[in-house]
Amino acid sequence: MTSITTDAAVATGGPRGSGRRKRQPGWFIPWLFVAFFGVVVAANGIMVYVAMTTYTGLETDNHYLKGLHYNAALEGARAQTERGWKVDLAFQSQAPRKGIVSVTLRDRYGNLLTGSVVKAAFIRPTSANHDVALELPYLGDGRYGTDVELPFSGNWDLRLTIDHSTGDYQNQQRVWVK
């Protein structure tokens, strides 16, 4: 006796009627798309979280108010140039995280500028929590200076401000600390 297979037996997965259908080729492809976009959304979410919870990039406090006074800052820079002071700023790093900052002040005619208040601020370019501000004492012969110890080696911005009865002076330069 020969067995005849019916369409119902093929549709159910075999002649025994197991009740399971055979999956079509490529049935998983839509799930690959879902997984791909799930990974993309998760990666973007992580990047947004990291961007929002780390360094803001804001270096200047009250930047809006300082922007309103920008023309006054330009006028101050022009007056600083007209005074023609000769300011020699030097920083020497001789030991790890230590250095000597010194400033020599002269007016445009070469006369010593005494009686100034000289301040130096070491600003870490990558973080605002490690800045070091100091006032430089007068050492004689137009020189101001002191030793400084910083919390980290590497690049620092040295911001110099000088207040004198004939005017003020500002300058900034990048220095390397061993």
Give the pLDDT confidence score for residue 146 in this predicted structure: 96
This prediction's pTM: 0.65
Give the pLDDT confidence score for residue 74 in this predicted structure: 94
pLDDT in tens, 59-71: 677 888 989 999 9
Cβ atoms 106, 86 nearer than 8 A: yes
DSSP annotation of 112 reads B
pLDDT in tens, 112-162: 999 999 999 999 988 878 999 999 999 999 999 999 999 999 999 999 999
Give the pLDDT confidence score for residue 57 in this predicted structure: 72
- Domain 84-177 sits in CATH at 2.60.40.1940
**Structural domain boundaries in the chain:** 84-177
CA distances from 12 to 6, 15, 17, 139 (A): 10, 8, 6, 100
pLDDT in tens, 2-48: 555 555 555 555 555 567 889 999 999 999 999 999 999 999 999 99
